Amino acid sequence: MDDWDRTVAADPSIAGRATLRDVDLGKPLVVAANGHAIAGGMELLLAADLRVAAAGARLGLSEVALGLIPAMGGTARLGRHLPPALAAELLLTARPISAEQALTWGLLNRVEPAERVLDAALELAGSIAANAPLAAQAARRMLRASADLSSVEALALEAELAAELARTEDAVEGPAAFVEKRAAVFRGR
């Protein structure tokens, strides 16, 4: 038994916290997987909004081969990211797939050479950070919430979020900067 095993034995909820099982950061999360993401690593990957993995990396949820299920968010999140047949294949066979296959399935945003994984993730994060923070947070909230809503409910939430954003300083700054042909200075207000 190593330190991690002792820590989890003393506090079983720590694994869920480590993989963001019951945590929503409220902000876009970009995960860079510079190696295999199996079991808990895959569950952390599934918690992200954007995902970059190293070429040749293997991704999977192996728990059913051990008599368990991915209980740190993997079972609940997988079907939100993949079509049902692909989610079932990954979950029920316990066989990992390559990062390249995960990219074709739409599970990853990018597959990069190992030495570029972190840079690619930081570039994505930088692109997000260059935008109005309140708008990015609202768009993320809408994206996550709308999956569980009817079209009517989703459109109502979208209108509500748009109305909230329209009252912000950033919503005035963005169009003004566009018209004035200058970079916007967003303040998150």
On whether residue 184 sits in a domain, the answer given is no
Q: Give the domain CATH number at 31.
A: 3.90.226.20
On whether residue 14 sits in a domain, the answer given is yes
Q: Do residues 111 and 103 lie in contact, with contact meaning Cβ atoms separated by under 8 Å?
A: yes
On whether residue 185 sits in a domain, the answer given is no
* pLDDT higher than threshold 80 for residue 16: no
| Torsion-angle region of 64 (φ positive above 0: left; ψ -120 to 50: alpha; else: beta) | alpha
Helix (H) / strand (E) element for 124: namely: helix 117-129
Q: Among 9-13, 46-50, 102-106, 163-167, whose mean pLDDT is lowest?
A: 9-13
Based on the fold, state whether residues 141 and 72 are members of the same structural domain: no
Based on the fold, state whether residues 49 and 13 are members of the same structural domain: yes
Q: Do residues 86 and 79 lie in contact, with contact meaning Cβ atoms separated by under 8 Å?
A: no
Based on the fold, state whether residues 84 and 174 are members of the same structural domain: no
- Asked if 63 is an active-site residue, the reply is yes
- Summarised one tens digit per residue, pLDDT across range 21-57 is 777 878 899 999 999 999 989 999 999 999 999 999 9
Based on the fold, state whether residues 151 and 138 are members of the same structural domain: yes
Based on the fold, state whether residues 138 and 79 are members of the same structural domain: no
Q: What is the pTM (predicted TM-score) of this model?
A: 0.83
- Asked if 43 is an active-site residue, the reply is yes
Q: Which residue has the tokens 């692909």?
A: 86
Q: Do residues 170 and 188 lie in contact, with contact meaning Cβ atoms separated by under 8 Å?
A: yes
On whether residue 188 sits in a domain, the answer given is no
Q: Give the domain CATH number at 173.
A: 1.10.12
On whether residue 121 sits in a domain, the answer given is yes
- Summarised one tens digit per residue, pLDDT across range 92-132 is 999 999 999 999 999 999 999 999 999 999 999 999 999 99
On whether residue 10 sits in a domain, the answer given is yes
Residue 63, Cβ neighbours under 10 Å: how many?
Answer: 21
Q: Which of 43, 100, 115, 164 is the catalytic position?
A: 43
Based on the fold, state whether residues 86 and 168 are members of the same structural domain: no
Based on the fold, state whether residues 115 and 158 are members of the same structural domain: no
Expressed as residue numbers, the domain containing 169 is 132-179
Q: How many domains is the chain partitioned into structurally?
A: 2
* pLDDT higher than threshold 80 for residue 12: no
* pLDDT higher than threshold 80 for residue 7: no
Based on the fold, state whether residues 103 and 160 are members of the same structural domain: no
Pairing type for strands 97-98 and 110-112 reads: unpaired
Question: Which amino acid makes up residue 25?
Answer: L
Q: Please, what is the average pLDDT of the chain? A: 90
Among 90, 112, 128, give the residue marking a domain's end: 128
- By CB atoms closer than 10 A (0-12, 13-18, 19+), residue 46 is buried
Which residue, among 104, 82, 100, has the nearest Cα to 91 in the 3D structure? 82
* Residue 69 to residue 75: CA distance in whole angstroms: 7
Based on the fold, state whether residues 118 and 144 are members of the same structural domain: no
Which residue, among 118, 83, 125, has the nearest Cα to 104 in the 3D structure? 83
Based on the fold, state whether residues 82 and 161 are members of the same structural domain: no
* pLDDT higher than threshold 80 for residue 139: yes
What local confidence, expressed as pLDDT, does residue 117 receive? 96
> Residue 30's beta-bridge partner residues?
50
Based on the fold, state whether residues 80 and 52 are members of the same structural domain: yes
Based on the fold, state whether residues 90 and 140 are members of the same structural domain: no
